Each structure stands twice: as C-alpha cells, then as structure tokens.
Amino acid sequence: MNTVSPYILLSAILFSMGVIGFLTRRNAIMIFMSVELMLNSANLAFVAFAHQWGQLDGQMFVFFVMAVAAAEVAVGLALIVTVFRSKKSANVDDLHQLKG
Amino acid sequence: MSRELLGTLTWLAPLPPLLSFAVIVLFTNRYRQISSAIAVVAMLTSCVLSFVVFFNAVGIGNLGEDPIRGIAYSFIPTAGSTFNIGVAVDPLGATFMFMVPLACSLIFIYSTSYMASDPLYTRFFAFLSLFGGAMMGLVVSDNLLSLFVFWELMGFCSYALIGFFYRKPSAYKAAVKAFMTTRVGDMLLLLGIVYLYTQTGTLNFFDVLHNAKVLETLAATPAVLGLGISAAGLIAILIFGGTVGKSAQFPLHVWLPDAMEGPTPVSAMIHAATMVSAGIFLLLRFFPLLQVGGPDNTAFMVVGLIGAITALLGATIAVAQYDIKRVLAFSTISQLGFMVAAIGIGAYGAAVFHLLSHAFFKALLFMGSGSVIHGVEHGHEHVAHAHGDEHGNAEELDHDHGAETASAAPAFDPQDMRNMGGLRKRMPITFYTFLAGGLALAGFPFITAGFWSKDEILADAFHGLSTGSLISTIVFIVLAFSALLTAFYTARQISMTFLGEARTEAAANATESAPAMTFPLIVLAVFAIFFGFVNVPKDFPVLGALFGPAAGWLKSFISTQLVELQAFKEEAQVFNAIPLLTSLVVALGGLGLGWLVYGQKPLKAGQTDPVEKLGGLFTFLHNRWYFDELYRVIFIKPLQAIADNYSRVIDKGVIDWALEGLYKLGVGIAGALKEFDRVIITGGSDLIGNTVRSIGREGRELQSGQVQNYLLSALIAAVVLMVFFLVLAQ
Amino acid sequence: MTSELIVFIVLAIISVLAAVGLLSSRNAVYAALFLILNFATVAVLYLMLNAPFLAIIQISVYAGAIMVLFLFVIMLLGAERLNQAAPQPGLRWQRPLAIGLGALLLIQAAYVFITRFNSTTVAPNLIQAGPMEIGLKLFGPYLLPFEVTSILLLVAIIGAVVLTREK
Amino acid sequence: MLVVVLGSLPLLAGQNLVGFANMTALDGYALFLDGLFAIVAIVIVLLTLRYNQDRGIMRGEFYPLLMFSAGGMMLMGHAVNLLIVFVAIELLSIPLYILCGLARPRVDSEESAMKYFLLGAFASGFLVYGIALIYGATGTTQLSEIARKISAKEVPETLLLYAGAALVLVGLSFKVGAAPFHMWTPDVYEGAPTTVTAFMATATKAAGFAALLRVFLFGLAPLASTWQPIIAGLAALTMIVGNLVALSQTNLKRMLAYSSIAHAGYLLMGVASGNAAGTTGVLFYLVSYAFTTLAAFAAMTSLNTAAGEDQSIEAYAGLFRRNPLVALVLGLAMLSLTGVPPTAGFVGKYFLFQAAIESNLVWLAIIGVLTSVVSAYFYLRIIVTMFMREPVAEPQPLSTANLGRSVALAITVIGTLVFGILPAPLLQLVNTAVTAFGVTMH
C-alpha cells in the first residue's frame, strides 16, 4: 500500500468507538478503558502519519502519549478505588451530589 | 495667578473630600463629631480652592481655546499613543467648579444637623465625602477615561447612600435599582468611549473636541454596523446613553424617584449637585460631537426628543404625587428633560444656565423638604411620646404594598403632603426659602433664576422654530406645556404643605429646624433668586440695558468653549416677544391655576385632593405611567426565568432542555389551539397538546445531572465545531 | 490487492470487533481482555508501519503493564459484574444519541480522510526506527519532554499513594 | 522556591531564546506568565497553610503537587511545540486531579476529583487526536514550522489541518471552561478544597489561555479567517451562558465558578480578535482577573468556622457587621469582577472590548457589554447581602487571623487596586510580552 489512509480511517473508527464507549458505559472502569481506546487510536494515527512523512517524530509522540497514559491510569485507578470505597460503587451515575 | 499655579490648584481641588473619605474610614470612624468636622472642613477647603480657580478663570479671556491644564501623568502607555491623565478647566468646567463645591458644602453643613441622631453618622459622611470628591474629580478631568472612573465611583456612592437605611427593604431595593439602571447607561457610555478611542486614538477632550479637523473627520466617517449615521453621531448617541442613565432620562428614569429612599441630603446631592448634573455635564462636554453633524442631525433629534419626552413625563407624574420628595424627584426628571431638550436644539448656553440655576433651587427645595419632614417628624414625636423612629426611616404607604409595611400598619408618613398643611406659621424660614425655590422652579417672572433660564431655553427653541427646525418646534411646544404643569404642581405643593390649616396633629406641632439646616437654605434662596441675573439677555427690554455689559455674561463666557465649525454657526438672535410671553403665560398661568385649586380653599383634613377627580388619568399618573411594572414584565422576569430554567437545564442535560423547550412550545401551541377550539370549533381534542406533552415528559426522565450528560452536550458541540471548521475551510 | 492490504483488512476487522466487544461486554474482565486484543492487533499494525520498537512497547507496556493494572483493580474491587440491569432512566435516550453522535464524528473524519485517499503517498525512504534511533532521539532533542514525563510519573506515584492510603 | 523563581525573572528579562531543540521558548511572553503563575502559587500556598489546618487536610503532599502543577503551567507558557503543549497540560492537570480529591473522605471532594479526571481525560483524548491530525497535515509539531508551512502553502491537505485545529480547540476549550465545554467547572469547583478551586480558577485558566494564544495566534495564525468566527461564537456563548446561569446560583463558590466561565468568555473575545491588542487584553485581563478572583477566594477561606465552610450566599448576610475587613475585600473583588473602575477588572475589560472593536467584532463587544450589565446584578447581590442585610444566624466564631492569609489578602487587594489605578507599569510588562510573542498577524 502506498498510502496510509486506511490506517487513519481505522484510527478514526476506533476513536469514535472510544467516544461512544465513554458516553454510554456507566462503570468508571469501563469509561476509563474507553479513554485508553481513544488514546490508542490517536497513537495509531501518529504512527501512520510518521510513516507517511518518513519521520521519527510521530513515533516519539506516541512514546510520550503512552507514558502520559500510564500516569493517567495510575491516578485514575486510584481515584476509582477511593470512590468505590466510600460509595461502594464504580458507577458514575452515583456521582451527582454536585449539580445545579 | 500663574497658569501653572492654577493647574496645581485644580489638581488639589477634588482631593480634600477624597482624603477625608479615607481618613474617616480608616481612622476616625468611631468619633462622630470629628468625622463630620473633617468632612465639612475638607469640602470647604475644596470649595475655596475651586473658587480661587473659578474667579481667576473668569478673568482669562481666551479660556475657551486655551484652558487651564494641570500636569498630566501617564496612565496607560499603549503601543501607539500614550494615555495621559490630567486636569483642565475650561469655561464649562469653571462654572461647575463654582456650583458643585458650593452646593456640596451647603449640603454637608445641612447634614451635620439633619443626620445628627443617626447611628451610622460617620459612615454617612465618609460616603458623602467620596461622592462630592468624585463629582469634583469628574468636573476637572481632562479626558474621558478618568471621567468615567469618577463617574462609576459616583454610581457606587449613590448606591451606597441610597441604600443607606439598609434595614428598610425598599431602600436597598432602590439602591440596587439605581445602580443597575444607571449601569445600562454606563455600558453604552463605555462602548462610546472605546469606539471614540478606536476612531481617534485619544480620549482627551481637547484633542478631540477642540480640534475641528478631528471633528470633521469623525463626521465624515460612516459609523459601524451600517446605521446610516456618522461615527460622530454614533459616538454622541452612545455617550448620550450614559447621560440617559445618570441623568434619569426616559426610558431609564425609573431609578431617580426611588433614589429618595436615601436620606434627604443625599437626595439633594443626587438631584442637584452631583449625579444628575454629571450626566448633563458629559453631554455638554460632547456638544461639539453633536454639533458637527449640523442642525437637526440624527443625534440632535434623538437628544431633543428624549429630552422633550422626559420633560413632559416628569411634569405629568409630579402632578399626581403625595410624597413631598417624590414630587420634587419627578420635577427633577422633568427639569433635566428641559436641559437635554435644550441641548437637542443646540441651545448650549441655555442648557448650562438652566443646569446651574436648577442645581441651586433644587438643592434648596430638597433641603427645604428635608427640613419640613424633620419638623413634622418632631411634631409627630411630640404627639406620640413613646415613638422613637429613626429619621427618614418611615415606611412609604403609597407604593409599597409589601408585607413589611403591613406590620407597622398605622405608620405615620411624615413625607405625605396630606399630613401637612399650615406649616407656614410653624416653620417660617423654611417656608420663605421653600417659596423662593418653588417660584424659581415654576419660573416666576423676573425675580427668580428659574424664569431666566427657562425663558432662555424657550427663546432658543422659538428661534429654531422660526427657522423651520422640526425638533425645535416639538421642543418648544412640549416644554411650554411642561412648564405650565411645573408651575401648577409647584403651587399645589406649596399650598398643600404650608398653607391652610394643619391637617394632622403632627403638622400642628411641627417645629422649625436648627440653624445648621436653615443657614444653607437661606444661602441657596439667595442664589435661587439672584443667580438669574448673570445671564439676562442683552436685548431684553429694559433689564438688558440695565445690566449693560454684564448682560448675557454667562452665555458669552461659556460659548468661547466651542470651536467654530462650518456646519453649525449660531446666528445672533434678535429678541422676540413670543417666547417671553409664553414663559410669562405658562408660569403665571400654572401658578394661578394651582392657587385657584389649592391656595384659595386649602385642603381640610380628610378632604380628597382635587387632582384625584381626574380618575383613571390620576391613577395612571400616580403610578408613574406604570413604567416599573412594564420593566418588570419585559426585562426582569424573563431574565430571571432564563436563569432559573437554565440551571434546571444543566441539572438535566442539554437534550432534556431541548425537549423541554419543545414541550413548552407544544404546550403553548396547544394552548393557542385550545383557545381556537374553544372559541371557533367548540370541543375538539387536545391530541396535539397531549402528544407533545408526553414527549416532553419522556424527555424529563433523562434527568441525571451526570458527567456523561455534560459530555454529550460537549460532543454535540464538538461535532458542530468540526462541521463549522470544515465548511469554513472550503 | 496486495498481500499487505489483505493483512490490514483482517487486522482492522479484528481490532474493530475487539472494540465492539469492549463496548458491549457485560463483564469488566472480558472487556479488559477485548481491549488487550485490540492493543495487540494495533501493535501488529505498528510493525507494518515500520515502527518495531513501538510495537514492542505497545505489547509490553500497554497491553502488558497498564492492562494488568486495570485487571488488578477490577479484581480488587470485585467489580467485574457490570450492573447493567438497572440503567438510569436517562440511559434510554442517551445511548442512541451518543452512538449517533459518535457516528457523525466518524462520518466527518471519514469525509476528511476519504478525500485524501491516494492523494498522498508514503515517503519513499524507510526510516530506521529501532531502539537505538528512538533512544538517540529521546535523549537528544526530546530530552525536555522526557524529563517532564518522568516528573509526571512521579506525580502519578504520589497521587496513587495519597489517594488510596487509609488514614 | 517560588520566590526564587520570581526573583530570577528580572534577570532573564529581555532574553529571547529558543531552547531544547526548539521546543521551548524563553521570551517575554513566557516570563510574564511565569511571573503570574509564581505569584498565584505563592498566594495559594499562603492561603493553604491555614486552610488545610482548618479543614483537617493534613497532607504534606499538597505542596509538592501544587508545585508540580505550577511547573506544568510555566512549561505551558514556554511551549512552542505541540508535544510540549500536551505534556504541559498533563503535568498541570494530573496533580490537580489529585488535589481536588485531597479533602477526602469528604464525598463531594472525591466526586469533584472524579468528574475533573474523567472530563480531563476525555479532553486529552480530543487534544491528542487533534495534534495527530495537525501532524499528519504538516509533518511537524513545531508551531513555527506549522505557521511557516501553512503560509507557504506547503500543506496540501487543508481539510486534515482544519479537522485537527477543531479537535485541538475542543480540547483546550475544556481546559479554559468555555461553553459548551464548561459544564464540569461548577461541579468541580464546588467540591474541591477552596484553595485548589482558587488555583484552578486563576492559574489553570491562565495556562489554558497561554496555550490557546500560542497555538492559534502563533501556530495557526494563517488560518485566522477560519477560526476567528468560531472562537468569537464560543466567546459569545460563553459570556451569555456564564453570566445568565450565575444569576440563579445560591452557592457563592458555584457562582464564582460560573463567573469564571463568563470571564473565560471575555478572554476568548480577546483571542478571537486575533491581533496584538487582543493579546495585550488577554494578558492584562489574566492578571487582573487572577488577583481579583484570588481576593474573593482568599476572603472566602477566611470565613471558615470550626464547623466547616458554609458556601451559601445566605451565610454571608450581614458579614460587614461580623467581619468588616473580609467583607470589604470580598466587596472589592465583586466590584472588580463587575468591571467597575478604578479596579483592575475595569482596565482589563476595557482592553478586551477595544481589541474586539478593532477587529470589527462589534457585535461581540456589544454582547460582552450587555452580559456584563447582567453580571453586575449577581455580583451586586453579594455586596447587598454582606452590607445591607442583617446576619441570619448567630455570629459564629471566625477562625482567627493568620499571618499567611493576611499577607495573601494584602497582595491580592493591592493588586486589584493598583492595577486599576496605575495600570501603566503592568501594561509595560504586557507590551514587552506581546512584542516578544511576535503576533504575526494582520
């Protein structure tokens, strides 16, 4: 193949699915996995574009996205655990004290 | 005295009251006497400084072209130009430097006695000082920005002082109302300022307004938004927006009558020396911008019409009020309308003249009414020993039907003129000074300042009429009629208050006020009578010749201010008897009518006021044309509704909001249809109404207030945003 | 049809199916496993796109370490059974809407990408993207973000400790 | 440490360097923002010392996390590469997620942290994907390169570029709290510890705008004709939503959250005008807004009682009688937020309106003016409540004065007043910053 367009299209599909997952799932862990899917699709786009431009920079970006994602995961899971402890639930619908 | 020294003095003039504010707030707020003494002394100092500047300024021949300037300091050094803040005194500023500190000083002195028993005495003087200082600062500002700063400062002071009796709900409502209403005008003014700055790169009055080239460029530039008027016109109208707010012109006049919820000296400050004058002052400052468009241009038309409407509106309402201060408040609105209308027909000098004479007699009337209220209150206390009301803390009966007044059911209202009568004998000094002020307001011929200034406006309007100017014609007719009403309600007020027999025990036992209160009244009465002679028209029969070179002094002094513009040249006027006769007829006619109705057979206790015989018209006028109610329905309710609903919407998520809108729309349509059914078809079904309602109910179940709802709406926005980007990219 | 395209299509189908599985599974553990499958296929795609080092990292860090963390938390909380029985009343509306919007977003993206089909070509020269090249870049021009990222990880450690520590 | 940073700034002034493989810039713009963030952080630390004690948040981690976040913000100011923008956003956000949750086990604090985290993660997703698309279109993440390539018409796939710009705008809009991406703001602000809220409302917003300015006015400047109307629309929506909804709030912290949304709208107006005047306006406004908002929050934290903090506006009734000094500070802050001269808020608004009018966005300026009239109503309500109402409850014992807090109050009040009365020196700094920023637009 001499174009990366199919890869980009695939990444767009995955990104949209991540967004849908984020909005439709109620469980914080599932929502969080959807975020990972979104980031992962962005990574795919980066790698594809890096291939297209014949550069390494896109790949470098992916490296950092992964590292940041790892940090986010650590904090996010810690938060989920904390909330779970006090609410006995990982359901985001139960987070509705603050509104108006 | 050298100009440098005068410039320095001008810098110093507004400072003492501002400093006294700081000193009172920070150091002496526990000591009542010291605080009031500081405030009075500071104001007097400022007064002396101003007088020195004024009397020197009068002697300078070319003050108009070359005003006294103080050293400027650099405020905002923007990339292109530097923004300097300085002070300047030109003829307009000079006349204000005479009137403002004088009136303020007298009000301060008066307050020491009037507020004597108030627990928040020191706070009162602090704010009063700030108020006076801000007005002084506004007068000496040489640029629009610092003027705006002082302008807003005054807005804040008026807010704090109107709401001074903050325990009275009507007082803080009035304070908020005043602040909000004037702020609408302020924002227009701010837009005008910014627009002026983008057009000219400066906000200095003298760089813009004394520069024929800049003015003509502005007049030649078409305004933004394709309004079909020149930039000069648009800026003038925007700035006029500020005046409309501050000087209580229609349609933003609603705050001023409520502003008398504040203590009476504050009313005097607002109605005479500071607030409302500031608005007119600003408009006078920007007169060249109006002028540059030529006679009868859009901006002039707008100003003239608003002024005329306001004059009429205020005068008609004042006829049907019982509250002594409320009558005066509406008369202020009406008189301000006179001034604005005068500016609208290009009668610059007449407007200044009327503003100054009005400031004196209106301050006099307000303080006189304060003295009356004070006296009646004392009488009331004398009668009912047990009662220890705070001054001015009386509930109003005539418009506030809230629960708070119900508790104090048979409250005695010392401001209601129906409770007065016969005060002439009890309070002679107050009576004679009030009479002087009243006659000046009514325009009693020849011996009052009000006559000369009003006559000047009518004469100029008539002159415009004779040259075929549309706006002048309107103004002449409307103002003449308003002047008639003015004379009438003045006669009514004086008769109801002072003449006849006392209608209540309180009035029968009223006592004359203390010298600290009557002294300012006397001084102002002198001005109310004699101030008019500074500007007797040169060609006036007999008197003009009598005054010789001094005749028409004010007008010639003030007019050096204006640049000669091609578009607008004021021709020398010839004396004409028609406006003079008009003035005489309306003033004497109104007073005579009032005397016939009220003076001859004074009201007895319990007798209804003859104006009430007007029936529906009376109710309409008494309720002030229902403006407050109208505004509540048009502006306040919808805004509140939007805000309330929106927070519910957030709660439910955006989709729900849309559905609810649909539901409401459906209910509305269904309601209309139902009406249609009922009237036309009789019977029919609610099918449509029910369907939409059920959709809405379905939507309501969405209610979650959840993160994901937030994101859903965000996602909608994101999708829309993408579409926009992609469409715009094409 | 080149062999590369065939492989791509197969992998693409697998990854999309895995994502569908992630979105629809009722058990969090299954969902996590689907996500790992997705990551793995994407790793193969990386290989095809001349990014061998990233492919390895994808497997070891992403599919390995991060997802293990997920599984660990799921097990710890005992939250694998996803309570789909009692959806909030709003869910009925929200789900189709979210899917619709997602589809719209996809259509927009597709519109953008399809207009570029075959319009651009891959750069002729294949770059070297092995560990050495990446390493040189990382400690050369990308030193600053690298250091920042290390701080970020430190923050994450502190955060995890602070948030989960019992008093 | 922050003092050291602040102290070192004058030494670096006048430099105009690009470092770390052209990824960061050391220019007046960055230094200006560094200064702002350092001052904000100092004030927050001063406030927090006592606040945490009052609220029983005994965690030493608070300070390093705050420092990391401030560091991320500073990095954001220096960023001239989209990679750094991304990393900086994460560095400033992740500590904040944790800080929001620090008041645990209070449930609202946890909820606030969770919501912030979820929204933040979602926004990062959009941001990263957007950056990916921009990279795909231009082959670089270097802002100057992007700008150069677009101007030189070396970007064949403009659609890709526009889609990327849209996604980046979405991501950053989340961060600055622009409508309709603002909905997390009130919830998060309300639940977080008050000092953290103050930090988010001022510094995070400033960092978000720092990034917006760099990305849109520098990197994507050649696309101005496209993004200008869109950002203008966002600005209008944000001003309207923020001000209107604030009208019906009964919780002071929530009201301030909506007010922060509204102010983001005014700031966006400056971004939308896309000229040097707009940049000046935004920078000046960021400073004035930061001081004012900090003053408001500082006053709020002074009112903690042993029982906790009562955030409802009702609780402020008659405050002037109970605690005149705090009431005055809060009153001043409200006046400045309304934009009443001679406070800093007025000068800032003035510049923003001017910028909008200069770039022919008169309608936007009019919306701004109208909404700020509306805003006067709810700010004023606070003043009325404090000064003109009787205290509803028994006067409660207020937490006693504290040196750190007093200093913080003094700094913010002085800032609010001085920049209102004598804006010239600050404006000089802003102008230096703007010149360095090199707005390359019309």
Report yes or no on D442 lying in a domain: no
Q: Which of C48, B529, B701 is nearest to A48 (CA)?
A: C48
pLDDT of residue B75 exceeding 70: no
Span of B28-32, B247-251, D33-37, D427-431 with lowest mean pLDDT: B28-32
Could you tell me the residue range of the domain that residue B659 belongs to?
A: 653-729
Domains of chain A by start residue, with CATH: 5-94 (1.10.287.3510)
Does D265 have pLDDT greater than 90?
yes
Contacts of C88 in chain B (CB under 8 A): 704, 706
Higher pLDDT, D6 or B655: D6
d(CA D87, CA D79) in angstroms, rounded, equals 10
Q: Is B386 exposed, middle or buried (0-12, 13-18, 19+ CB in 10 A)?
A: exposed
Least confident of B484-493, B628-637, C136-145, D193-202: B628-637
CB of D57 closer than 8 Å to CB of D193: yes
Whether residue B32 has pLDDT greater than 70: yes
Q: How far is the alpha carbon of C41 from chain D, nearest alpha carbon, in Å?
A: 19
Across the interface, do A95 and B647 touch by the CB < 8 Å criterion?
A: no
- The DSSP bridge partners found for residue B230 are B222
Mean local confidence (pLDDT), A13-39: 88
Question: Which positions ≥6 away from B320 have C-beta within 8 Å?
Answer: B611, B614, B618, B621, B622
Residue B315 falls inside a structural domain:
no
D353 or D154, which is more confident? D353
Three-state SS for B133-187 is HHHHHHHHECEHHHHHHHHHHHHHHHHHHHCCCCCCHHHHHHHHHHHHHHHHHHH
The two three-digit tokens of residue A19, written as one number = 């967004």
The pLDDT value recorded for residue B372 is 86
Helical ranges in D152-223 per DSSP H: 158-176, 184-191, 194-199, 205-212
Which is higher by pLDDT, B490 or B394? B490
Work out how many domains chain B is built from and give that number: 3
What's the confidence (pLDDT) of residue B396? 38
pLDDT tens figures, B227-236: 667 888 888 8
Structure tokens that stand for D99 in this block: 């800080």
On whether residue B175 sits in a domain, the answer given is no
- pLDDT tens-digit readout, B549-567: 666 777 777 776 665 544 3
Distance of residue D119 Cα from the nearest chain A Cα, in angstroms: 10
Lookup result for tokens 């935004």: D282
* Residue with tokens 């909380």, as numbered in its chain: C77
| Gyration radius of chain D's alpha carbons | 21
Q: Within this chain, do residues B717 and B604 fall inside the same structural domain, yes or no?
A: no
pLDDT, position B573: 57
Structurally, chain D folds into a number of domains equal to: 1
D393-425 pLDDT, tens digit each: 555 555 556 777 888 888 888 888 888 878 878
Which residues are within 8 A (CB) of B386 and not within 5 positions of it... i.e. 6 or more apart?
none
Helices (H) and strands (E) in chain B, counts: 33, 4
Last residue of a domain, one of B96, B127, B142: B142
Q: Is residue D175 part of a domain?
A: yes
For the CA atoms of C146, C150, C151, C156, the dihedral, rounded to the nearest 10 degrees, stands at 130
pLDDT in tens, C36-90: 999 999 999 998 888 888 999 899 888 888 888 888 888 888 766 655 545 555 4
Write down the pLDDT at residue B703: 32
Token pair 């014609």: residue: B473
Instruction: Look up the domain containing D70 and give its range.
Output: 2-437
**Taking all residues of chain D, what is their mean pLDDT, rounded to a whole number?**
82
What's the pLDDT band for B399 if we cut at 50, 70, 90? very low
pLDDT of residue B292: 76
> Given C8, C120, C159, which is nearest A1 (Cβ)?
C8
CB D352 within 8 A of CB D270: yes
**Chain B closest-CA separation from residue D274 CA (Å):** 16
Residue A75 has pLDDT above 60, yes or no: yes
**What pLDDT, in 10s, does the model give residues D44-94?**
888 888 777 777 776 678 888 888 899 899 899 888 899 999 999 999 999
Is residue D218 a contact partner of residue D143, using CB atoms and an 8 Å limit?
yes
DSSP structure class, residue B416: B
Name the band, by pLDDT with cuts 50, 70 and 90, for residue B682: very low
Residue D4 pLDDT class (50, 70, 90 cuts): low
Tell if the CB–CB gap between B704 and A95 is shorter than 8 Å.
no
- Specify which of B474-483, B505-514, D206-215, D248-257 reaches the highest per-range mean pLDDT: D206-215
Question: Between B30 and B573, where is the model more confident?
Answer: B30
Lowest average pLDDT, out of B205-214, B456-465, C14-23, goes to: B205-214
Q: Is B513 a domain residue?
A: yes
| B662 shares its domain with B523 | no
| pLDDT tier, B185 (very low <50, low <70, confident <90, very high otherwise) | confident
Interface of A with D in 57-96 (CB under 8 A): 57-58, 60-61, 64-65, 68, 71-72, 75-76, 79-80, 82-83, 86-87, 92, 95
| Range C3-82+93-129 has CATH code 3.10.20.740 | no
Assigned domain for B212 exists: no
Q: Which residue of A lies nearest to D96 if distances are taken between CA atoms?
A: A75
Provide the token pair at B691: 């369907």
Find chain D residues with C-beta within 8 A of A31's C-beta: 118
Domain finish residue from B87, B110, B142: B142
Question: Residues with Cβ < 8 Å from C37, sequence gap 6 or more?
Answer: C14, C15, C18, C21
Domain-embedded: residue D99: yes
Other CB atoms within 10 Å distance of the CB of residue B662: 14
> Is the peptide bond between B638 and the residue preceding it cis, with omega within 30 degrees of 0?
no
User: Has residue B685 got a pLDDT over 50?
Assistant: no
Substitution target in D100, D108, D109, D117 with the highest count of A β-carbons within 10 Å is D117
Q: Cβ separation of B701 and C89 shorter than 8 Å?
A: yes
In this predicted model, what pLDDT tens digit does every residue of C126-153 receive, in sequence order?
A: 677 778 888 888 888 888 889 899 999 9
Both B425 and B488 in one domain: the answer is yes
Q: Which of B50, B196, B204 is nearest to B136 (CA)?
A: B50
Q: Which residue(s) pair with C81 in the sheet?
A: C27
